[in-house]
C-alpha cells in the first residue's frame, strides 16, 4: 500500500462528523442504518416479552418506562446519523460499537424491572457515554465553525452526560426506586426536547427530509413486527383449534390495521419545517410505537384465553387502550404535517374520527367481549377510521399521494 493510498484510507476512518448545516436533502436511509435498526428488534422483543408475561397495570407501567428509555436511545442514535453521519469507516465503526452495546442491553431488558435492572442500567449508561462522546465531537466543531448551534449542542452534551450518570447511579438502587428514577429520566428527556425546540432558534439543525420520515417509518415497521411475534408466540403455546386460530388471525389483523392507518394517513408525509412542529412530530411517535408494541404483547394473553367467555380485564384494557392511544397520538402527528394545511378538507374532520375511534375502543375494552370478538371489534374500529380517511382523500382528489 503506497503512502498516498494509506493516507486516503486513514482519512476515510478518521474524518470528522458531518458538520451542522451540511444537510443532504436527497439522502436515503443507508443499509448501515437498516442494520442498526434490526438490533432494536431484539431489544423491543425482550421488553414486549416481559409485558406479555405481566399483563397488569404495574406490568404496563414497567413496560412504558423501559420502552421510553429504549426509544430515547434510538432517537439519539438515529438523529446523530441523520445530522452528522457519513458513508465512511468512522461512522461504520461507531455504529457497530453501538450495536454491540445494544445486543448486551437486550440480554438484560426482559428483567430490567426485576433482578437484572442493575445490568440494564450499566449497559444503558455505557451506551449514553458513547453518545455523549459523539455529540461532544459535534460541540467541538460548533465551537470552531458554527457558533449559532453552540448553546444547543452544549446543552445536549451536558444533558446526555447527566443522564448517563443518573442511570448508572440507579444501578445501586432497589427495583422500585430504580424504576421511579428511570421514569423521571424519561420525562426529563421528553420535556427537555420540547423546551429546547421552543427556546433555541437554531435547534439541533434538524430539518424535515425524506430520509428522516423514512427512518421513523422503518421504526414503526419494527414495532409492527412485535404484533406478528405476539401472534406467533400466542399460537405456539396453546392447542391450535379453530377458535384459537381465528382469534390469532383477528389479532394479527389489528397489526394490519395499524399499518394501513399509519402509512396512509401520516407515513411518508413531511412535517413542517417549523422547529416546534418538527419536535412535536418526533415526540408523537413515542406513544404511537409504544401502543403498537404493547398491543403485540397483549396478543399472547388474548390467544391464550381464546376459549374464555370474555377477555380478561387486563388484556381487554391493554388492547383497547393501545388502539385508543395510537389513534389519539396520530392526531398529534398529523397536526404537524405540511399536508395538514394543504389538505385541510381531509385532516380537520379526520381528527374527530380519530377521537371517536379512540372513545369507542375504550368502550369495547370496558365491555370485555369474548377474545375473538374483542379483536374483531378493534379491527372494525381501525377499518372504520381508515375508510373515513380514504373517503376524505378521494373527495379532495388526493388519494395515493405520498
**The pLDDT value given to residue 72:** 94
Q: What is the mean pLDDT of residues 9-17?
A: 71
What is the arithmetic mean of pLDDT over 369-397? 94
Residues of the chain above pLDDT 90, percent:
65
- Mean pLDDT score, 160-176: 93
- Residue 107's φ and ψ, nearest 5 degrees, are -60, -35
Quote the pLDDT of residue 281: 93
Task: Write down the pLDDT at residue 270.
Answer: 92
Selected residue with higher pLDDT from 202 and 390: 390
CA 148 from chain centre, in angstroms, equals: 29
pLDDT of residue 198: 67
| Stretch among 26-30, 111-115, 142-146, 395-399 having the lowest mean pLDDT | 142-146
* 48 close to 234: Cβ distance less than 8 angstroms: no
Binning the chain into helix, strand and coil, the percentages to the nearest 5 are: 80, 0, 20
Give the pLDDT confidence of 40-73 residue by residue, as tens digits: 999 999 999 999 999 999 999 999 999 999 999 9
On the CB side of 53, CA atoms within 13 Å amount to: 9
Question: Given phi > 0 = left and psi -120 to 50 = alpha, else beta, which region is 267?
Answer: beta
Residue 204 pLDDT level (bands cut at 50, 70, 90): low
**Higher-confidence residue: 147 or 139?**
139
State pLDDT tens for residues 94-133.
999 999 999 999 999 999 998 778 999 999 999 999 999 9
Distance from the Cα of residue 330 to its chain's centroid: 13
**Mean pLDDT calculated for residue range 307-323:** 96
Can you point out the beta strands (E) in 102-198? none
Q: Find residue 337's DSSP bridge partners.
A: 271
pLDDT recorded at residue 399 = 77
Question: Could you tell me the pLDDT band of residue 401, with boundaries at 50, 70 and 90?
Answer: low
Is 238 strand, coil or helix? coil
- What's the pLDDT at 201? 54
Tell me which long-range contacts 82-86 makes (C-beta under 8 A, separation of at least 24): 82/206, 82/209, 82/211, 82/212, 82/215, 83/18, 83/20, 83/138, 83/204, 83/205, 83/206, 84/17, 84/18, 84/19, 84/134, 84/138, 85/17, 85/18, 85/30, 85/33, 86/15, 86/17, 86/18
300, pLDDT greater than 90: yes
| Dist CA 251 CA 278 (whole Å) | 33
Mean pLDDT value across residues 180-192: 92
What is the predicted pLDDT for the residue at 144? 78
Distance CA 23, CA 210 (A): 12
Q: What is the pLDDT of residues 213-269, one digit of tens each?
A: 999 999 999 999 999 999 999 999 888 899 999 999 999 999 999 999 999 999 989
Q: Is the pLDDT of residue 381 over 80?
A: yes
Report the mean per-residue pLDDT for the chain. 89
Q: What is the pLDDT at residue 7?
A: 62
Residues 6+ away with beta carbon under 8 Å from 52: 230, 233, 297, 298, 299, 300, 301
Provide the pLDDT for residue 193. Answer: 78
Q: What is the pLDDT of residue 12?
A: 63
pLDDT beyond 90 at 357: yes
Q: Which sign does the torsion angle of CA 16, 20, 24, 30 carry?
A: positive
As a whole number of angstroms, the distance between CA 315 and CA 159 comes to: 37
Task: Answer whether 251's CB lies under 8 Å from 303's CB.
Answer: yes
pLDDT at 200 over 70: no
11-15, 167-171, 330-334: which has the minimum mean pLDDT?
11-15
| pLDDT above 70 as % of the chain | 94
Amino acid at each position: 500500500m503506497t503512502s498516498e493510498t494509506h493516507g486516503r484510507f486513514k482519512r476515510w476512518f478518521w474524518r470528522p462528523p458531518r458538520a451542522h448545516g451540511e444537510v443532504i436533502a436527497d439522502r436515503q436511509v443507508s443499509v448501515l442504518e437498516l442494520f442498526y435498526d434490526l438490533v432494536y428488534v431484539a431489544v423491543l422483543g425482550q421488553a414486549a416479552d416481559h409485558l406479555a408475561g405481566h399483563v397488569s397495570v404495574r406490568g404496563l407501567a414497567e413496560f412504558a418506562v423501559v420502552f421510553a428509555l429504549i426509544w430515547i436511545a434510538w432517537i439519539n442514535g438515529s438523529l446523530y446519523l441523520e445530522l452528522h453521519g457519513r458513508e465512511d469507516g468512522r461512522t461504520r465503526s461507531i455504529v457497530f460499537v453501538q450495536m454491540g452495546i445494544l445486543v448486551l442491553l437486550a440480554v438484560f431488558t426482559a428483567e430490567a424491572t426485576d433482578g437484572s435492572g442493575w445490568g440494564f442500567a450499566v449497559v444503558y449508561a455505557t451506551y449514553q457515554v458513547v453518545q455523549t462522546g459523539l455529540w461532544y465531537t459535534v460541540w467541538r466543531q460548533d465551537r470552531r465553525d458554527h457558533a449559532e448551534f453552540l448553546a444547543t449542542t452544549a446543552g445536549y452534551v451536558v444533558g446526555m452526560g447527566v443522564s448517563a450518570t443518573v442511570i448508572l447511579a440507579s444501578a445501586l438502587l432497589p427495583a422500585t426506586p430504580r424504576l421511579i428514577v428511570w421514569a423521571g429520566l424519561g420525562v426529563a428527556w421528553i420535556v427537555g426536547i420540547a423546551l429546547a425546540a421552543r427556546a433555541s432558534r437554531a435547534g439541533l439543525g434538524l430539518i424535515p427530509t425524506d430520509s428522516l420520515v423514512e427512518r421513523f417509518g422503518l421504526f414503526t415497521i419494527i414495532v409492527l413486527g412485535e404484533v406478528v411475534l405476539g401472534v406467533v408466540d400466542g399460537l405456539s403455546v396453546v392447542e391450535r383449534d379453530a377458535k384459537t386460530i381465528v382469534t390469532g388471525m383477528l389479532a394479527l389483523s389489528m397489526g394490519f390495521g395499524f399499518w394501513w392507518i399509519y402509512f396512509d394517513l401520516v407515513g411518508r408525509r413531511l412535517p413542517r419545517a417549523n422547529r416546534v412542529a418538527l419536535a412535536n412530530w418526533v415526540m408523537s411517535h413515542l406513544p404511537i410505537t409504544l401502543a403498537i408494541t404493547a398491543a403485540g404483547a397483549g396478543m399472547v394473553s388474548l390467544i391464550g384465553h381464546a376459549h374464555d367467555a370474555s377477555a380478561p380485564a387486563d388484556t381487554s384494557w391493554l388492547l383497547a387502550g393501545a388502539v385508543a392511544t395510537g389513534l389519539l397520538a396520530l392526531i398529534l402527528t398529523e397536526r404537524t404535517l405540511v399536508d395538514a394545511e394543504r389538505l385541510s378538507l381531509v385532516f380537520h374532520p379526520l381528527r374527530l374520527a380519530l377521537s371517536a375511534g379512540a372513545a369507542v375502543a375504550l368502550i369495547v375494552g370496558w365491555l370485555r367481549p369474548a377474545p375473538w370478538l374483542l379483536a374483531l371489534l378493534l379491527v372494525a374500529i381501525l377499518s372504520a377510521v381508515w375508510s373515513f380517511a380514504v373517503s376524505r382523500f378521494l373527495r379532495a382528489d388526493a388519494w395515493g399521494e405520498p
